[in-house]
């Protein structure tokens, strides 16, 4: 913000200082916006990573637990957007359920642990 020349040297100095402070404020605001974008990007990446890890853990568990395999099948069947369905081309929920059933049938039965003591 260029100021018109002034005859008063004190006023001219004050106006220059105002310009300097305003430029510093603009730079600080730009830095603040950049840091906010970085924080949002970091948060989004962390959220995506959690979803990927959790999805992998769920699919891994579904390979041995029929109830989870059926739940995954229901989730996949509920996907309606073509872009979201594309990654599931070639993914067979029937094979996932069958694998879980085979795993369950071949696994030896163990008694369930009690998580609390009976009264």
Sequence-distant (6+) residues with CB within 8 A of 62 are: 68, 69, 71, 72, 96, 100
Structure-block tokens of residue 29: 């605001």
Question: 3 in a domain, yes or no?
Answer: no
Please state the pTM of the whole predicted model. 0.62
Question: 107 in a domain, yes or no?
Answer: no
Question: 106 in a domain, yes or no?
Answer: no
Does residue 3 surpass a pLDDT of 80?
no
Model confidence band, residue 105 (pLDDT cutoffs 50, 70, 90): confident
Burial-class residue 46 by CB neighbours within 10 Å (0-12, 13-18, 19+). Answer: exposed
Domain that holds residue 45: 12-87+94-100
Model confidence band, residue 60 (pLDDT cutoffs 50, 70, 90): very high
Note the pLDDT tens digit of each residue in 24-57.
Answer: 999 999 999 999 999 999 999 999 999 999 999 9
Torsion of CA 24, 26, 32, 33, to 10 degrees: -160
């Amino acid at each position: 913000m260029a100021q018109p020349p002034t005859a008063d040297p004190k006023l001219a100095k004050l106006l220059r200082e105002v310009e300097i402070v305003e430029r510093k404020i603009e730079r600080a605001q730009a830095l603040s916006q950049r840091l906010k974008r970085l924080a949002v990007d970091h948060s989004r990446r962390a959220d995506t990573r959690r979803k990927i890890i959790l999805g992998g853990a769920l699919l891994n568990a579904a390979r041995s637990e029929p109830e989870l395999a059926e739940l995954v099948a229901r989730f996949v069947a509920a996907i309606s957007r073509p872009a979201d369905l594309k990654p599931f081309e070639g993914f067979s929920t029937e094979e996932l359920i069958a694998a879980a059933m085979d795993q369950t049938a071949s696994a030896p039965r163990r008694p369930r642990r009690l998580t609390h003591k009976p009264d």
